[in-house]
Amino acid sequence: MPSIENDQLRAIGGGIAAVRRMRGMTQQQLADAIGLTRTSVANIEAGRQDTGISTLLAIASALGIGADLLLGEGATAKGAAVAAQLYVGAALDEAEQHIRREVDVAFANARATYLKDLEGEEPFGHLARLAQRLRGGEQPADIASSPTTSKEK
């Protein structure tokens, strides 16, 4: 019967492997980041090699997670997967905020350009001119391709 210590080592190793895979890292990349061989990383992930706290801290740092996620409740593949999902969720939230800021800037710039083009005109004057051009027989495709100015009458 395996000892609890071996089960804990396998759980910690499984968590490391799960987070590493979710990060898209190879065992070699992790090994290079923490100064170990790929074989050592494979043995740690399989629970065949015990490791000191400094190595666990280095692994956690290289994976971008807290060491607490590799220990205690986080010392399971499920716990590591949950931690990785939280990390991905936070990264997506950050990306969404960045995209929203970019869209807001683009919208503000487009609005400013549009308002500048309409300076000095009656409200909705550009729509009235478009309606006149359409009544004059121009086709929407002709209007879209013809050069116009905002002050055209």
- Do residue 82 and residue 8 come from a single domain? yes
Mean pLDDT computed over 19-29: 90
- Do residue 75 and residue 45 come from a single domain? yes
pLDDT tens by residue, 71-118:
765 455 566 666 667 667 767 777 888 888 888 888 888 877 777 766
Q: Which two three-digit tokens encode residue 89?
A: 């969720």
- What is the C-alpha to C-alpha distance for residues 71 and 12, in angstroms, rounded to an integer? 7
- What is the C-alpha to C-alpha distance for residues 63 and 131, in angstroms, rounded to an integer? 61
Mean pLDDT computed over 8-24: 85
- Do residue 10 and residue 49 come from a single domain? yes
> With 80 as the cut, is the pLDDT of residue 57 above it?
yes
- Do residue 111 and residue 79 come from a single domain? no
- What is the C-alpha to C-alpha distance for residues 59 and 84, in angstroms, rounded to an integer? 14
Highest mean pLDDT among 24-33, 73-82, 106-115, 132-141: 24-33
Greater confidence, 27 or 145? 27
Greater confidence, 150 or 59? 59
- Do residue 58 and residue 15 come from a single domain? yes
Q: Which of 89, 111, 131 is the last residue of a domain?
A: 89
Question: Could you tell me the CATH number of the domain that includes residue 79?
Answer: 1.10.260.40
121 neighbors 150 (Cβ within 8 angstroms): yes
Q: What is the pTM of this model?
A: 0.49
- What is the C-alpha to C-alpha distance for residues 17 and 78, in angstroms, rounded to an integer? 11
Q: In terms of Cα–Cα distance, which of 11, 26, 94, 12 is closest to 60?
A: 12
Determine, yes or no, domain membership for 104.
Answer: yes
Determine, yes or no, domain membership for 54.
Answer: yes
Largest CA distance in the chain: 91
pLDDT grade for 9, boundaries at 50, 70 and 90: confident
Which domain, by its residues, includes 85? 4-89
